[in-house]
Structure 1
Amino acid sequence: MDERAVRRRVEAARAGDRQAMEDLVAAELPIVYNIVGRALNGHPDVDDIVQETMLRLVRSLGELRDPARFRSWLVAIAMRCIRDRARARQTTPLLSVLADEREPADTGGDFVDITILRLGLEGQRQEVAEATRWLDEDDRQLVSLWWLELAGELNRQELAEAAGWTKQHTAVRVQRLKERLETARCLVRALGAAPPCPGLSEVTADWDGSPDSVWRKRIARHLRDCPRCGRPAADTVPAQRLLVGLGLVPLPAGLSLHALHVLGSGGTAAQMAAAPAPLAADPVGWPTQLVQLLAKPAVVAAAGVTLVAGGAFVVHVHDDGASRPPRAAQAPTSFRTPTALRAPDASQAPTPTGSPTVTSSPTPTASESPPAGTTASRTPAGRYGTVVDTADRAPDPRVPPAALPYRPESGLNTSAGSKAVMEHRGDNVTLSGRGYFRVRWQILPAERPGSLAMPTWTGLDGKLFHVASGGGRRMDDQMPGVPDRPHTWMGAQHTGFTVLPAGAQQMWQNEYFYVDGKVTLHQNERGADYNLIVEPATRAGVDDDLRRPPAPDEGIVRYGLVRDSGTDTAPVPQYLTRATPQDPAGVDRRSRVVQ
């Protein structure tokens, strides 16, 4: 998101705009989670520190003098929470610390493992991630910020302000970090060599496999003296080149849900400042107390939040205004053993997107909930844009689609002629007129896997609907005829996986849209490699694509899906705005489009 948009959102939240505060928390939570998770390497305290950081954001936003410095202010809060935790542990009795280290809670496992799996890292990128286990705590805190700088989420000035250093001192610290990280990479490479070095095997005979500073020094001493282990690989790529644009590790679903509950219980900065007496008296205990409180079924039901794949949420509202109970959610899988990472189960949908798995819910009926891929209206019926496309489950591949409603077709123009092929960040195409068009996805994990920056829609004048999905497959479907699982159009173990942002709609090969007016589609590639092919379509052509029956030998895995209701309650695409932001990649996932 561009700086002006962030500033407007911060100012609105400071003024008491509940929706702006909710959007601010949702936008910044992934940044905070990645900073804390990487700094503590997935320690059980991660969730508590993330929640404490977000609570301080809500409680203290009114004290921020310059909204333009919001990001560095927030990151500094996260770093203070991390350091406060370290100081608190220094004053904890030794036996309690040792017990805590021996028996960590199972909250998602080693953050390095989670990073490798959810971002589909392999080769030298995986080597860099594993090397961070060997860094000291101070270096892990710095690498958590530096990684985000390389991913494009922080700039150097924000990094320096968050760390409390000058830019010159920051440059020195980052350079020293790079040197220590390269040493750790050599260590990881030597330990993983096949066959192993006999001398290194002798040195590590009593090692239990857990990285620490003592063994780092012993192994590094061997590397300096060993002509085999100490020889750098000829194809070694600097870490900063490997990590540029890699993106964020997706949020665990439970963490994003809890942040919404926190807001649901308070709403604005002023309301959160007036906390109940037990909480105000013991701010360090807020996260645990809130987790216990908000885990109660009555509180969850009152919040009206439904958890779905990818950490998105849907609010279902009865005609009488009462909220429906939430669907049950399953905690993220725990990853703890570096040498025994389990591949995602291809039977789960979505599979390699990095989103936590959730339990399936019964097929909704017309009287109970909106069609798949939509949310119920939270504003008066009949207004365009009150239904927003969200992450949904895959339909039964053998069930033919519903009838595709008729919409008038009077001609569609594109700024790129008959077909637009968008292969790079910054490519865009403007569509105007009235009619259908197709966006065909090409996901290229063999070229570059990792976190995918979603395309965005800007400058909408009129109406735009997401009417259908086809192409014979969702891109996370298992490829027919290949022996390994999972092996989908999102990637495989030997290439790595393309990972969607939390809450993003899993794309099919062909996505169909209908425009009555004008809109511009932007390719925002950063991290994972992908292409978009955009061209006009007809209703007859869309319907023909959707109704092709499964034929695995032809690569057709499933029938298509009709999303269109034929009215203004049809879903709109994610990442849509009527505005024309300076940075199109900053459009929010939670689209809000009104007449």
Structure 2
Amino acid sequence: MQAVRTLVSDHLPLLYTLVVRAAGPSVDVDDVLGRTVSLVGAGMPGLAEPESFRPWLMGTALRFLWTAEQAANRPGPCGDWPPVVAIDPSDQREEANNAVRWLAPDDRELLSMWWLEASGEVTREEVLAACGLTPTVAENRLRQIEARFEDARTAIRTLGASPPCGPLTTLLQHWDRRPSDRQRRQIARHATDCPTCSGRAADLIPADRLLRGTPLIAPPHALRESLLARCEQVPDPADGSGSTAIVERVRRTAANPWVGNTARIVAVTVAVVLLIISLATYADSRKSRPVPTGVRNSPSASAAALPSGSASARPSTVVSSAIGTPSPLAAGDLTGRRALRSVASPDRYAQVVNRTAFVLPVTSTSPVALRQGATFELVTGLADAKCRSFRVAPGQYLRHFSFRVRVDPDDKSDLFRKDTTFCPRPGATPDSVSFQSINYPDRYLHVRGDELWIDEPDGTAGFRATSSFHVVGGWV
């Protein structure tokens, strides 16, 4: 229990700073942080390696923040911010804090990550891992966001100038003085072209220099205690001998004066403890790890036997009495309650955790909720009868959004129907299947780390394996 509290406590300032800087005015920051901390307490599903804890933590918080931003009722791309007020031009960091309000939600999230990098709190590698970006894409996006951020700083400086510029006042006479993407561009263009305003922002320090050394924002005491209290849901281990030794090692490391400030080492070690004591299911599967009887391919199955609109369901579940692992079905057997077992990692199954799709270990001894999350109802594709959709609950389906797979309710839109429809294609092995997105035909369901995305094939055997699944009988 103390290990969990230590892990969360050490990272709360980083987490709080990331979310507060990126969140819009309608987002419940406490709720986003609470959901993130609850996942830590639940055993950090989706964390492939302990060394990836920090990127996993930040990426999880950004996913919850993104969901909250989507749910918020935003009248414009920048949100329903309070009216713009004059800022003391001598405090350029305060100007920078206010400039964030002029950016769209996606830009604010990546800017918040870049801000942490510029201030030395995270590395570029951690930014890439947390945001799921390639170096090239990240570089291009950061360059664009930095330009918008500088435009926003220029807009703030220009609006706060005294005396005010007459032509600018006329230009903005119908503006409600709330930050918006349109007004940011409009004011920045005016500041470039206007002889009176062109020198207003001449003394602005470049953002990458200004943000260096910016301290983390400490969460309020009440919020900190509330979040730490949520860690108490972590169960104590039945046999603490192994974990106790690791916790003792953490204590010694932290007490040692020459490594006392290496919080990252402590966090990584504690993450190992969490993986041992919190995920009994995962630990058991890795200790015993029997060979699933259903791993071998059925000689009667054919990858060419793909479903058609008239395909009918055969018996849905064939269970091995030895370990309770669902056995492979014929490739055409793609209706009814099913589970998707990864070809690349046969002990891992697609499943839903907090409405987001992962590919994680499941065994017959896993909790019922875990087995339920790894069971889907394969139904006729919402956008094409020859394809398939994955129903999670009545009216709720797996869909891709920004290429990440998650669960959403059916909004009856054409876009939703396409986002939830995947067409079976031959997999990497005989009797395995790949699922092609109907509206992004160059992308397939693909296991990225422990997460489920739709990605473009890279032509390698590894991608083929991680985008192929055995369709097996449902766990429940």
TM-score bucket of the superposed structures, by smaller chain: 0.3 to 0.5
Q: TM-score, normalised by structure 2?
A: 0.47
Q: TM-score, normalised by structure 1?
A: 0.38
